[in-house]
Structure 1
Amino acid sequence: MSERSGGAGAEFPTAGGRVRGRSTGGVTAVLGIPYAAPPFGTLRFREPRPAAAWDGVRECTAFGPVAPQSAELPGAPVWRPGDEDILTVNVWVPDGAHGGALPVFFWIHGGAYTFGSSAQPDFDGRALARAGLVVVSCNYRVGFEGFGHVPGFPDNRGLLDQAAALRWVRAGIADFGGDPGNVTVAGHSSGAGSVACLMAMPQAAGLFRRAVAHSVPSAYHSVELAMAVTRRIAREAEVAPTARGLLSAPPEALVAAADRTAATCRTDPVAAVHAFDPVLFQPVVDGEVLPADPLRAFASGAARNVDLLACHALEEYWFLHAVGAVREVTTEQDLADAAEALRLPAELLDGYRALLPDAPVLDRYLALFGDARFAEYTTRLAEQHARTGGRSYLARFARRRGTARPWHTADVPFAFGNLDAAGAAFLIGGPPDDEDRALSRRMLSAWAGFAATGDPGWPAVTATATPVRSWAVPCDRLASCDATALRALWRDVPFALMRPARPAPPAG
């Protein structure tokens, strides 16, 4: 049982020792609690190991260091060489919960498996905690440290970190008032991809009951492609692509080498690891940590005991284009090359041209690739889950206001109730109005309801029908069956083929 005095100074026991958080606005935030040992030195590139215990009470009123990366995100800390205690969790607890076995909402941040952290302002858990949840978020290894292939070491170390954080929740969340038997794991973008992988991973089996996945990316690496990525980064870092060579390169050297390699991908499709997708790091289907990509795993019924709430945005790729994360495609030949790079059938190009006859090539490219990379894959996960006996729900983020698009990441501050957070105005297209705040309350309520009971408030997907909730202003829409012309275009397109057509040439 936790000891609570209310206000500043509330203390909680953990396996490592006692921690003290800070209470504001009716919620106690306990930040930066180690769940595993720093993954550096002799532990670098290894699976996470237990954190060391401490004496006395640890002050946990600030987020822990972020994982090695070059990103500088609004309102969030940046990584500095030498920051090592990066495997930490944060917990938000409603004041007065008193060990009341509340539902637990466990958030995994996104960032192309390369950047990001739990400290981003739009991931603040206070609004969800006030809705009656114990909210947990975690930092984990990203980029090469978390997802780079290192001979002789486990792949998918970032996923293993997330599973270790979930084991920390299972062992100790009751002391924060949470129910370890009612955990919902949630994420957006690569965080949602992580959620889907955790649903397919034996190491995560039984650690959560429900899953929320917004904008799940469709890309996964084979071991061979992961090895090709390592060769290119090692060459850029001027080290051998061996365990010894990679261990000799400090984290900052591999971060810089990966950044240079990704920049090459955006400008040089002949030599690129991915001709039109410069995201270097993806989960590796290694047959051990990740036995199969999630769509195949779901088809086998591997995750049927986990309830799923899936969501995607209508115009995912417009955001990635706005921030310069994808190549510019403005000619029909560029578009054909892009489709060939992902092995997309020519009929899809014809179909999008027919559905968007007056759209410029760039808009057709962004529509096609946003659906290929996020929207259609997310929808299929929900459908496949239902077909094999799982319970799943589907939603789409369709909110438009002025020139603001329903693009990638815009749904996150709405669902978290953080429309005024630093950086949110860019994501949602300006300051929120009353209709936006009402939409945010509806989306947050759906998350909270799903985490508590497994029901977000609309009908579940079935083996024969796909009801879909469209989040919009001034009011939402519910379609009883997702039978649009756009979905019809994708009906016979196998996602197993959606892999880069050309691996990277060997280094040297």
Structure 2
Amino acid sequence: MDSDADAPIVTIAPGAVCGVWRNGSAAFLGIPFAQAPVGELRFAAPAPPEPWDGVRDAIEYGATAKRDKPGEQTLIPEPAIPGDATLNVNVFTPAPGDPSAALPVLVYIHGGGYTEGSPASPWYDGRAFNRDGVVTVTVSYRLGFDGFGHIAGAPSNRGVRDWLASLEWVQANIAQFGGDPARVTIAGQSAGGGAVLILLGMPAAQHLFHSAWALSGAIANVSGERARTASARLARLAGVPATRDGFASVPEARLFALQEAAASPDSSDPLAALGTLLDEGLPWGPMIDGDLLVRPTLDAIRDGVGADKPLVLGANDDEFTMVTDSAKGKLRLVPASLALGRMVRDRDVRRRYLAANAAQRRKGTAAVLGRYSTDRLFRASLVRTVEARGNAPTWAYRFSWVSPTKHWAVHCLDVPFWFDCLDAEGVTAIAGEAPPRALADAMHGAAVAFIREGEPGWPAWTARPGATRVFGGEASLPDVSVDGYASVRALV
């Protein structure tokens, strides 16, 4: 069975695809869920894929919206694969061609601040989930200005429309790969986690999934005014009218090169860049457009959209402390209260926050600013989301294991544990030579339990407000904290 002669072949609506066997499960890579967004389809809504004759090879990752940046180093290895046909999915399954298997399905949306990231990362390989009886799909979507920029005369939120189109593809085709379209869990990390929360609050997406897991997800709704301002600035930098035809006349590579400067002032100071992010949010991302996204996501969730869907969400303890850590020499003699005063103007809020974070304060001012940045972007947003859900089934967790190489529970550190891919390329750089197997077993096991059974294995916040599973915390502390996010309450 594990030979080229017996390669797995699955027939879906556009045609047949041939994958590859890998130790008992199959991978089908680079299957188009929409036509290439080029030519007349650039800046258009995703168009259904054209059918093909014969059997299409699906043995290599398809083109990515991420483009190569020589010398770029990211926490997650996410390769850039050249090509135009960037709207594709990768399917990993233990039961190809067997609709009767009806296995639960995980659809994973990669992160990258809506401007970077790739579904072709070795960390997102679905083999461990396949081992545990879960069909896994990773999806691509348009990034940056191409995916999210405001363009007069073009559909808004094209990247969001790509998410919807990929989920529609799953509904139409996943049974042929052994998956159950009625048991689809969407998940994602960082911007992908934000995508999960946005989809959770979208009425138009409710029929496309039945549960959700957001890793380090922050709700990032870009205002229409900010989106229009950034697009106008980009047009000026490119020397074209701020119209669909104007932007279409600029090569993709040129727009990618200009989009960062158009969104925010250039700064080589990481603390200044972090301050801009805290004050203004992500430069490109899902926009309140009055059409697809009619109102802010948190408002929609508070009004009950997605309340029938179980949700797990969590964050790492020190997502961005490695950024402020780079400035700890400069901050060594600056009192934490003084440094934080530049970010938190309300004296009472600042006092309560510092009191609740006394242990972090003892680690120095850089540690306090890193924790505050983490709390502003992720952890306070998490608490707001949980509380906005009211009685909807919701579970919260923290990832607290400290990286031996990065020295904090940093952004992206949880991903190889969640996917149970500790032997994958790049893991040792962020998790050291001997990442704890028991932690991967616990976190991945919780994900599998949730995807298969609808519960991750600890008390829901709904039943016990504040209840938080702590992954990788101190051995002396309980695995479930009675109020795991008490330290962010001053910011909520």
TM-score (norm 1): 0.86
What SS does structure 1 have at the residue aligned with 2:245? helix
1:69 deviation in Å? 3.8
Provide closer, same or farther for how the CA distance between residues 281 and 101 of structure 1 changes in structure 2, counting only shifts above 3 A: same
- Worse-matched range after superposition: 150-159 or 208-217: 150-159
> In 2, distance between residues paired with 1:454 and 1:484?
23
Indicate the residue corresponding to 2:177 in structure 1. Answer: 176
Report if aligned partners of 1:190, 1:216 keep a CA contact under 8 Å in 2.
yes
Q: How does 1:136-151 map to 2 (within 5 A)?
A: 136-151=137-152
> In 2, distance between residues paired with 1:346 and 1:285?
32
Q: How does 1:438-477 map to 2 (within 5 A)?
A: 438-462=438-462, 465-472=465-472, 477=478
> In 2, distance between residues paired with 1:95 and 1:200?
32
> In 1, distance between residues paired with 2:464 and 2:95?
44
Report if aligned partners of 2:96, 2:178 keep a CA contact under 8 Å in 1.
no
Provide closer, same or farther for how the CA distance between residues 193 and 305 of structure 1 changes in structure 2, counting only shifts above 3 A: same
- Worse-matched range after superposition: 196-205 or 120-129: 196-205
Q: How does 1:28-427 map to 2 (within 5 A)?
A: 28-71=26-69, 72=72, 75-80=77-82, 83-95=83-95, 98-99=98-99, 100-261=101-262, 264-266=265-267, 279-319=282-322, 335-339=340-344, 345-354=346-355, 355-356=357-358, 357-385=361-389, 387=390, 389-400=391-402, 402=404, 404-427=407-430
What SS does structure 2 have at the residue aligned with 1:213? strand
10, 23, 47: which one aligns with 2:8: 10
> In 1, distance between residues paired with 2:208 and 2:486?
39
Indicate the residue corresponding to 1:502 in structure 2. Answer: none
1:432 and 2:430 correspond: no
1:244 deviation in Å? 2.4
**What amino acid maps onto 2:294 in structure 1?**
P
> In 2, distance between residues paired with 1:225 and 1:246?
18
Give the number of equivalent residue pairs: 472
**What amino acid maps onto 1:77 in structure 2?**
P
What SS does structure 1 have at the residue aligned with 2:197? helix
- Worse-matched range after superposition: 252-261 or 439-448: 252-261
Q: CA RMSD in A?
A: 2.7
Deviation track 1:133-185 (CA, whole Å, cap 9, x = no partner) reads: 00001111011111111112222111110110000000010000000000000
**What amino acid maps onto 2:162 in structure 1?**
D
**What amino acid maps onto 1:369 in structure 2?**
S
1:218 deviation in Å? 3.8
Report if aligned partners of 1:23, 1:95 keep a CA contact under 8 Å in 2.
no
* Runs of 5+ unmatched residues, structure 1: 494-508
- Worse-matched range after superposition: 312-321 or 170-179: 312-321
**What amino acid maps onto 1:449 in structure 2?**
A
Report if aligned partners of 2:417, 2:440 keep a CA contact under 8 Å in 1.
yes
> In 2, distance between residues paired with 1:139 and 1:483?
34
Provide closer, same or farther for how the CA distance between residues 483 and 32 of structure 1 changes in structure 2, counting only shifts above 3 A: closer
1:280 deviation in Å? 1.6
1:453 deviation in Å? 1.2
1:79 deviation in Å? 4.8
**What amino acid maps onto 2:396 in structure 1?**
L
Provide closer, same or farther for how the CA distance between residues 13 and 477 of structure 1 changes in structure 2, counting only shifts above 3 A: farther
Provide closer, same or farther for how the CA distance between residues 311 and 273 of structure 1 changes in structure 2, counting only shifts above 3 A: closer
**What amino acid maps onto 2:369 in structure 1?**
Y
TM-score (norm 2): 0.88
Provide closer, same or farther for how the CA distance between residues 144 and 334 of structure 1 changes in structure 2, counting only shifts above 3 A: farther
Report if aligned partners of 1:218, 1:372 keep a CA contact under 8 Å in 2.
no
* Runs of 5+ unmatched residues, structure 2: none
Deviation track 1:4-59 (CA, whole Å, cap 9, x = no partner) reads: x5544100011111001111122100000000011111111111110111111011
Provide closer, same or farther for how the CA distance between residues 484 and 221 of structure 1 changes in structure 2, counting only shifts above 3 A: closer
What SS does structure 2 have at the residue aligned with 1:233? helix
Report if aligned partners of 2:98, 2:175 keep a CA contact under 8 Å in 1.
no
Percent of aligned pairs sharing the same letter: 35
What SS does structure 2 have at the residue aligned with 1:206? helix
Report if aligned partners of 2:9, 2:97 keep a CA contact under 8 Å in 1.
no
What SS does structure 1 have at the residue aligned with 2:49? coil
> In 1, distance between residues paired with 2:278 and 2:449?
42
Report if aligned partners of 1:122, 1:412 keep a CA contact under 8 Å in 2.
yes
Report if aligned partners of 1:48, 1:160 keep a CA contact under 8 Å in 2.
yes
Report if aligned partners of 1:147, 1:155 keep a CA contact under 8 Å in 2.
yes
> In 2, distance between residues paired with 1:87 and 1:392?
31
> In 2, distance between residues paired with 1:176 and 1:484?
40
Report if aligned partners of 1:465, 1:480 keep a CA contact under 8 Å in 2.
no
Indicate the residue corresponding to 1:506 in structure 2. Answer: none
Provide closer, same or farther for how the CA distance between residues 222 and 61 of structure 1 changes in structure 2, counting only shifts above 3 A: same
Provide closer, same or farther for how the CA distance between residues 477 and 380 of structure 1 changes in structure 2, counting only shifts above 3 A: farther
> In 2, distance between residues paired with 1:281 and 1:185?
22
> In 2, distance between residues paired with 1:98 and 1:262?
47
**What amino acid maps onto 1:56 in structure 2?**
G
